[in-house]
């Protein structure tokens, strides 16, 4: 992804800036919980959304491209274990997600000045979110035979789950049953924990969110490594 940084890093940063300009201009006078402005509330959500979406896109597109082009066979014949292969794809995608998130945050600093309440929770949820979505992207790529199949998962599952996880609004303000449905979205806990690291107030217990995130990390990484081990759709 470093060879096409204009597409993999600059483009998603620009998209996040446009969200900030549009929503910030419309709702900049709105005061959120604990006296924070809407811009202060919005930016952590945009940063986390960028991390999640780009981590998923990197592992899924890279692996699908290797499958379609036929270059994956050169990787499979190397003396590398399935765990190492999965780890390489997932860690590379995690790195891209974190880089994009950092760039988004640096660019938004021109509009919003931040004070950190807990760098620990910011780092924990950023890494957990990137790792989970990178692992999910690899699982999707192992299942998909074409770019269209991968696009279906990204468009109809990943993107709605991201947008409906509290990026642009507080889930506590939602009426029933939408508030109850929000807590079923695993990305909600990641975004809430990440934002809480900036603002200092959490809608959910960050330790519970952290444990859930670690369980999802283990589950998706284990699934991706197991699919590589059995050669699912790659050794036929």
pLDDT tens digit sequence for 166-195: 888 888 877 777 788 888 899 999 999 999
Q: Which residues lie below 8 Å from residue 69, measured CB to CB, with a gap of 6+?
A: none
The closest alpha carbon to 88, from 75, 100, 71, belongs to 75
Q: How far apart are CA 217 and CA 78, in angstroms?
A: 26
pLDDT tens digit sequence for 41-94: 888 999 999 999 999 999 999 999 988 888 888 888 889 999 999 999 999 999
- Return mean pLDDT, the chain: 88
Phi-psi region of 34 (alpha: psi -120 to 50; beta: other; left: phi over 0): left
Is the overall model pTM greater than 0.75, yes or no?
yes
The closest alpha carbon to 52, from 157, 141, 203, belongs to 157
pLDDT tens digit sequence for 122-143: 999 999 999 999 999 999 999 9
């Amino acid at each position: 992804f470093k060879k096409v940084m204009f597409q993999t890093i600059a483009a998603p940063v620009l998209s996040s800036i446009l969200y900030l300009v549009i929503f910030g201009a419309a709702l900049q006078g709105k005061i959120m919980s604990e006296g924070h402005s809407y811009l202060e509330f919005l930016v952590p959500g945009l940063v986390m959304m960028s991390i999640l979406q780009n981590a998923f896109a990197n592992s899924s597109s890279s692996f699908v491209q290797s499958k379609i082009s036929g270059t994956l066979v050169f990787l499979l014949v190397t003396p590398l274990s399935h765990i190492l292969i999965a780890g390489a794809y997932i860690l590379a995608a995690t790195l891209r997600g974190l880089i994009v998130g950092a760039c988004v945050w640096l660019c938004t600093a021109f509009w919003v000045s931040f004070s950190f309440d807990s760098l620990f929770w910011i780092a924990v949820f950023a890494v957990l979110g990137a790792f989970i979505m990178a692992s999910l992207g690899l699982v999707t790529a192992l299942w998909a035979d074409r770019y269209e199949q991968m696009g279906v998962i990204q468009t109809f599952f990943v993107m709605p789950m991201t947008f409906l996880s509290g990026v642009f609004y507080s889930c506590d303000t939602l009426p029933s049953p939408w508030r109850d449905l929000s807590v079923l979205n695993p990305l909600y806990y990641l975004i809430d924990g990440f934002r809480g690291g900036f603002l200092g107030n959490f809608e959910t217990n960050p330790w519970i969110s952290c444990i859930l995130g670690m369980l999802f990390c283990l589950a998706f990484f284990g699934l991706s490594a197991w699919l590589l081990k059995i050669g699912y759709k790659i050794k036929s």
